[in-house]
Amino acid sequence: MNVRQKTISKEVSVYGVGLHTGKNVNLTFCPAPENHGFKFQRIDIVGQPIINADADLVSDTSRGTTLSQHGATVSTVEHVLASLVGMDLDNILIKLDGPETPILDGSSIQFVDLLEQAGTIEQNAYREYFVIPHNITYTEEDRRVEIVAMPLDDYRFTCMIDYNSPVLGSQHAGINTIAEFKKEIASCRTFCFLHELEYQLKHNLIKGGDLNNAIVIVDKEVDREELDNLAKLFNRKDINVAPQGILNNMELRYQNEPARHKLLDMIGDLALVGMHLKGHIMAARPGHAANIAFAKKIKAAIKKEKSKKLQKVYDPASPALYDVVKIMEILPHRAPFLFVDKILELSKNHVVGVKNVTMNEEFFKGHFPGAPVLPGVIQIESMAQVGGILVLSTVPDPHNYLTYFLKIDKVRFRAQVLPGDTLVFRCDLLEPIRRGIAQMKGVGMVGDKVVVEAEMMAQISKVKQVVEAS
């Protein structure tokens, strides 16, 4: 079923303080056009630079997720992004007049309430989903982190945390569908251990922190003097340890609130993939660094799947546009160094050619004769000859020209090519031919599998010029 993209119907704003910077900040959610995605804008900086919500732009994950682009940064973006995904939105511009989003109560619920207040509108463009095609995994053995995305026609999360803490213990949280986000996850607040809190206070790392925006887990013995000092730091009359092993600054909203908040962070971090996802995400001991690394793996899978869709599969048995006789009228090569058997397509910007790989070719006598495989240099030469047809088709008298390599770049051999295979090459111009110099991207396929690809630069010269130059 096609789902239309969504944005909000009006601007809505919230004011708060950044957890780490301690700076006051106004954050405004703004409607955005179709295919805009999620973007942040630093309106307090000259030029008001925009920062895309993109995993490739993450510059720090030590104390939250920070994005950097165009000389600007925005920190602690995960709670905001989680609210956008949880509210099923597609296109939002988030304007800020500071370097960090407001921490508010340490969860996403106030952002969710704000977005609900704005209301949503459907747009004309349809939403694009990335449906997880197969298991995608990420592990960190030293931290015992394991994350896997599995195929599913929905967006489901399961999360487990275990910090070897007798107070916190091992906790699990999950939602069956992202539609449960508001009810089950959005109000779950960030948490830290008491020893972390003391370290951050000592090093002035949480300038905007107070006991209203974090659950503090007491993971060590504390005396009255230490509790009194904390009370003074946070301007409280009294602080004690509650029976659940947390400071009595707040009550837990759920018994497993810390695990639910880790799930919230994961939803926000995976928004940096840049597409709505369909799959079941299962994570053990996730954190921001692991989430971002995993998001990049999903982005790589998206790129690979898109490449497959864009890569047309040609039938090598299709009628030839140019047979080998016609090819020899254009190319100067002859057997045994003519590697193009026919041309299937030719336009001003691309060409498709075929090479049949047979065991009786000369090089197989000496190239791994016990395990014959088409040499990579022959694959590149074959690709270049196909590209030569494209280049020489731009001159009225191709038999008077020769084509020479100037550069070969980004060569990738992705699979072996064996006798009996039929190689289909497609070469596309990367830019218009200028002064006889052509830049092309070439891809070689056997069936629907890419086996070789490269970028090539070549120059065509008249035969007379070549003779004179020699």
Catalytic residue among 79, 261, 280, 288: 288
- Bigger pLDDT: 217 vs 48: 48
The answer to whether residues 301 and 150 touch, using CB atoms and an 8 Å cutoff, is no
Residue 35 has pLDDT above 60, yes or no: yes
Q: Which domains does the chain have, with CATH numbers?
A: 4-184+260-304 (3.30.230.20), 191-252 (no CATH), 324-469 (3.10.129.10)
Which segments within 197-263 are labelled E, that is strand?
215-217
Q: Which of 36, 172, 333, 367 is catalytic?
A: 367
261 catalytic? Reply is: no
Report the C-alpha gap between 387 and 433 in whole angstroms: 12
List the structure tokens of 59: 């510059």
Asked if 132 and 157 touch (Cβ cutoff 8 Å), the reply is no
pTM passes above 0.75: no
Taking only the tens place, the pLDDT of each residue in 295-335 is 999 999 998 887 766 677 888 889 999 999 999 999 989 98
The yes-or-no verdict on residue 215 having pLDDT over 50 is: yes
Long-range contacts of range 293-299, CB-CB < 8 Å, 24 or more positions apart? 293/138, 294/136, 294/138, 294/147, 294/149, 294/270, 295/55, 295/269, 295/270, 296/55, 296/56, 297/136, 297/138, 298/130, 298/132, 298/136, 298/149, 298/270, 298/273, 299/55, 299/56, 299/273, 299/274
Q: What is the pLDDT of residue 401?
A: 85
pLDDT tens for each residue of 150-187: 999 999 999 999 877 777 788 999 999 999 999 999 99
DSSP, res 108: S
Looking at residue 379, its pLDDT comes to: 96
**Does 466 score more than 60 pLDDT?**
no
Closest C-alpha among 94, 79, 89, 77 to residue 116 = 89
Cis peptide before 336 (omega within 30 of 0): yes
Length, in residues, of the chain: 470
Q: Which two tokens stand for residue 265?
A: 């962070």
Q: Which residue has the tokens 């993450």?
A: 58
Residues 6+ apart with CB under 8 A from 437: 406, 457, 458, 459
435: left (phi over 0), alpha (psi -120 to 50) or beta: left
| 469 has pLDDT over 50 | no
276 included as an active-site residue = no
Residue 24 has pLDDT above 50, yes or no: yes
Name the CA dihedral angle for 231, 236, 238, 243, rounded to a multiple of 10 degrees.
-80
* pLDDT of 109 strictly over 70: yes
Q: For the ranges 3-17, 36-50, 225-239, 360-374, which has the lowest average pLDDT?
A: 225-239
Taking a C-beta distance cutoff of 8 angstroms, is the pair 250, 212 a contact?
yes
* pLDDT tens by residue, 328-361: 999 989 989 999 999 999 999 999 999 999 999 8
244 pLDDT band, cuts 50/70/90, is low
Beta-bridge partners for 279: 155
The dihedrals phi and psi of 321, each to the nearest 5 degrees, come to -75, -45
Considering only residues 320 and 216, tell me which one the structure prediction assigns the higher pLDDT.
Answer: 320
Spatial distance between the Cα atoms of 140 and 328, rounded to a whole number of angstroms: 56
> Is the confidence at residue 95, as pLDDT, over 80?
yes
pLDDT at 2 over 70: yes
Please report the pLDDT score of residue 48 as a whole number: 97
Residue 468 has pLDDT above 90, yes or no: no
Q: Strand locations in 210-357, DSSP E?
A: 215-217, 276-284, 342-346, 350-356
Beta bridge partners of residue 39, listed in sequence order: 52, 93
Angle of CA points 302, 64, 303, to nearest 5°: 10
Rg, C-alpha atoms of the chain: 30
CA distance 365 to 380: 20
Residue carrying structure tokens 């954190």: 287
Least confident of 123-132, 154-163, 240-249, 368-377: 240-249
